[in-house]
Every structure is written in C-alpha cells, then in structure tokens.
Amino acid sequence: MKLKISLFFIVIIWFGCKSIRPEAPNYPPARKTYARTTSGINIPVEIPLMVIEERLNKQFRGVLYDDDSYTRPTNDDVKIKVYQNNRIAVGAAADQLLFTVPLKIWAQARWKACSFCPEIEKQTIFDVEVYLKSKVEVLKNYQFRMTTSADGFEWRSAPTISLGPIDIPIARLLEGVLQTQLTNITKEIDKGVNSAVDLKSQISELWNMAQNPILLDDSSKTWLTMEPKNIQLAPITSNKQNMLINLGLETFIETKTGTKPSDKPKSALPDLKLTTQPAKDFAINVQSILGFTEATAIAKKAVQGKTFAWKKKVVKVEDIEIYGKGDLAYIRLLLSGSAKGELFLFGYPKFDGTNNTLYFDQLDYDINTKSALIKAANWMVGSSIQKQLQNQLVFSFDNEVKEVRKDLETRLKKYTYKKLFTITGVITDFSVKDIYVADDHFDVHLNANGRASLKLEGIDF
C-alpha cells in the first residue's frame, strides 16, 4: 500500500556550485537488506468421529460370517451366523480410535446320545460386544494410516446350548470364529478409512497455492506473498467429536503494493517435519513504498519558500530534490539569500516507533560540498541551519500504521480464499521494523506479529 504522507519530511542537503550530484566517494557503505522472519500458521485438520462412524456403518451391514454346515469347515456339529446387531460406535483417546462393534451370534448344534438314539438339534442367539482400537498416524509422505487391532470382547450372556440333559459350552468355539472374523474386519476398516482420507492432495494444493501471489485489495493493489519452507506435524490428539491432526505451515509472509509480483519456480512439497508443537506465531512483513518523486513533492510543500536563519545570515529554500544512493538518502537544495546555489546533505533514514515518524539521522555535508562551502560560504559549516532543516522536515506514518493494522485485523477475523481455506487470527503487535533505501524509493517495512490458524475447506473423508 503506497503511503500517503501528509506531514513533514526531513531533508538531506548538499551544497555546491554545480548542479551535478556529488558522488561522495567515501559514501555510502554497502546497501543493507532486511532480515526476514519465518511465520508459523497452525493448520488443525479435524476428522469428525461421526463421519468415520457413518462410513463404517455403511461398510459393515448384515451377516458378517455364515457357517451353515455341521461338517464344514470342521466337523464340529455346530452352525454359526455372525451379523451386526446395532450401530458401530466410534470414540477416540489421544492418537487412537476406539470402536465398539455390537454383534449377534446365532448358533445351532446337534447331538446324539448313541448311534441309534435320535438326533437332537437346538439353536440359540447370543449378544457380544467386540472392541477394536486403531493407531492413527500421518507418515512423512502425508499418507494417513490407521492400523486396527482387536481389543477384546464381552459376552452379554453365557454362550451355551442346552441339548437334552447337558449344556454344551461353545464359547471357545465362538471365540475362535470371532478372532478369525475380527482379523478380516480390522483389515476392511483400515482399507476403507485409509483410502477415504486423502490428506496429501489437500496439503499439496495448499503448498502450491501458497506460492502464488494473492490479491488482498484491488483498489490499492496490495498483494500477499508467501514463501513456504516446510510443513510441520505435531502429535495427533482427539476430543469427543474429532480426531485432530495438528499441522503447521512454516513460511515467509510479505505484503507488497503495486504490480503483481512475478511468479517464481514452485518448490516441491517437502516431507513432513515432525515436531512436538507446530509454530503458531506469525510475522507478516508489510512493505510500503514511498517513491523519491512523491517524497520530493511532499518535501516541497513542507520547506519550499521557507527561510532559515543563523545569526544575521538568512537563506531561502527555492527548490528541493530527494534521491538515494546505497543506504543513504540525499537531498539537493537550491538556496538563495546569504548563500546562493545548491546545497547537498546526506543522512540515514530512521524511524521513531514512539510516534511513528520517519526522520534522518546525523545529517552532514558531503566532503565535496564542504570544500565548496569553505570557499563560498564557510559560515554554513558551523551553523545550525542543517539542524533546523532536520527538525522541521519529518514524515508522520502514524495514520498509515494504524490503517494498515486495522485492515489486517479485519481480514484476519475470517479470510476465505477461493473456497480452499479460511484463515483466522489475531495481531498482538504491529510496528515499523526498518527503513531501506532502494533505487527510486524508500522501502518502509512494518511487522505484524500474532497468531493464526488455517482451515482447509471442503475436505471429504
């Protein structure tokens, strides 16, 4: 967002007899660059337990096992049918899913007291609750994997069949059947759920999208750019409603104004980075640009036509031009009065965070200008005119800082991008980080610090 400055600007000036800008061979030092800080955006992926429960109850219905022969698969004189009795219930604890599978078992047995005795057949029905548990994990390649195993079962009534004068206990027989069937059931559960959770495609889409510039505001041409570094995974947790996969996106975040940032080659999705806790604190670098042309226009309003006095000497500012070189800001002044001609000063742009103002530190004449001053107007070297200019010309960024913070806070309340994700967050600190001199403008870098979460939209489990 291009800053609209309305107050004063500190001017950097140089004095000479010619209009060619002094090169100042001893200045400036190498251009500095700002140190970026990575941000952590929490991505809590919620898998509703109810959705898993619905999927399982559609997958497992009716008869699960049917042995309709007394002699097959073994000659045991018992026929058995196992079928689902009620809905499978799903719960969770930490990184495990817990299943309660209610089953009804129909059993029929035959018995002959002797070879010539009549055969007796009896049937009965038993209820049993089977317990399963599943270890849930996400592999480094983003594959969702659930590994289910049996966790015991509980008979609701003693599994026996009364044949004549004897009661035949068939618990051991039925338990063998159950163990065999549970192996098949656990395999089918893992197959059904694991194939339904396609986490990698969702994260891949987010990763690629994060590398595209996002237009935040069309009127000001404000763009959000991200440079993702990795995806973090913390231990999986759960509550009564959801299995929680705690992911975190570690990325550089910046906002820039003007034309759309150029596309860069996209980096490939890296393997998951395991961590105890994904980073949740973000630091958005907000870049605002103040062009030298605009700075010159504002400075003209602030000082052009003004007079500055020292003892009996008075100079008037007829014209002003602001430009930059390396890390320094320069201003050319055209003066009249007690000193006629061009004056050049240089200084470092600084920012006062207490009142959000831009000023220039340690204004001084260039060595070339100083030599000219000694010959033409050496009284200016020791005068306070440069200090008067420094105190007069100050940029106020207070309104801009408040407006940018307000805009970010509004967007972070709930920002949805193309039905792919929704970001919610809060800003805890907002301030100008530093000022940099570019080829044709000042770069004003503001930092927005806070916490944010990103919710993937439209995930189908």
Q: Where are the domains of the chain?
A: 1-38+279-461, 49-196
Cis peptide before 48 (omega within 30 of 0): no
How high is the pLDDT of residue 11? 27
**Measured at the alpha carbon of residue 119, what is the angle toward residues 118 and 124, in degrees to the nearest 5?**
140
What residue type is assigned to position 170 of the chain? I
Cα distances (angstroms) measured from residue 458 to each of 30, 200, 453: 50, 14, 16
Q: Which residues contact 3 (CB under 8 A, 6 or more apart)?
A: 288, 289, 290, 397, 400, 444
Q: What is the C-alpha to C-alpha distance for residues 385 and 378, in angstroms, rounded to an integer?
A: 13
Which residues are registered as beta bridge partners of 349?
360
Q: How would you classify residue 362: left for phi > 0, otherwise alpha for psi between -120 and 50, otherwise beta?
A: left
Neighbours of 329 (CB within 10 A): 26
Q: At what angle do helices 49-59 and 171-196 cross, to 10 degrees?
A: 120
Sign of the alpha-carbon torsion through 416, 417, 421, 425: negative
Q: Is the peptide bond before 165 cis (omega within 30 degrees of 0)?
A: no
pTM of the model: 0.67
3-state secondary structure of 192: helix
At residue 380, the pLDDT reads 73
Q: Are 41 and 203 in contact (CB under 8 A)?
A: no
pLDDT per position in the chain (461 positions), as tens?
Answer: 333 332 222 222 223 334 455 554 345 555 666 677 788 888 888 888 998 898 888 888 877 778 888 877 777 777 888 888 889 999 999 999 999 999 888 888 777 766 666 677 888 888 889 999 999 999 999 998 999 999 988 888 778 777 666 777 777 777 887 888 788 888 888 888 888 788 888 889 889 988 998 887 777 777 888 999 999 999 999 998 988 888 889 999 888 777 888 888 899 999 999 888 777 788 888 877 778 888 888 788 888 998 988 888 888 999 988 888 888 888 888 888 888 888 888 888 888 888 888 787 777 777 667 677 766 667 776 677 777 777 777 777 777 778 878 888 888 888 887 777 788 889 988 888 888 888 888 888 888 888 888 877 766 55
For strands 78-84 and 96-111, give the pairing. Answer: antiparallel
Considering only CA atoms, which of 58, 149, 153, 136 is closest in space to residue 92?
A: 136
DSSP character at residue 51: H
Place of tokens 């602030």: 302
**The pLDDT value given to residue 91:** 94
- Which class for 375: exposed (0-12), middle (13-18), buried (19 or more C-beta within 10 A)? exposed
Per the CB < 8 A criterion, the answer to whether 260 and 215 are in contact is yes
What DSSP letter does each residue of 175-188 carry, written as one string?
HHHHHHHHHHHHHH
Q: Helix %, strand %, coil % for the chain, to 5? A: 20, 45, 30
Cα-flanking dihedrals φ and ψ of residue 176, to 5°?
-65, -40
Exposure string over 22-54, b if 16+ CB within 10 A, otherwise e:
bebeebbeeeeeeeeebbbbbbbbbbebebbbe
Strand-strand pairing, 242-257 and 281-291: parallel
Residue-wise DSSP of 66-103? EE--SSSSS--SEEEEEEE-SPPEEEEETTEEEEEEEE
User: How buried is residue 127: exposed, middle or buried, by Cβ count under 10 Å (0-12/13-18/19+)?
Assistant: middle
- Looking at residue 285, its pLDDT comes to 80
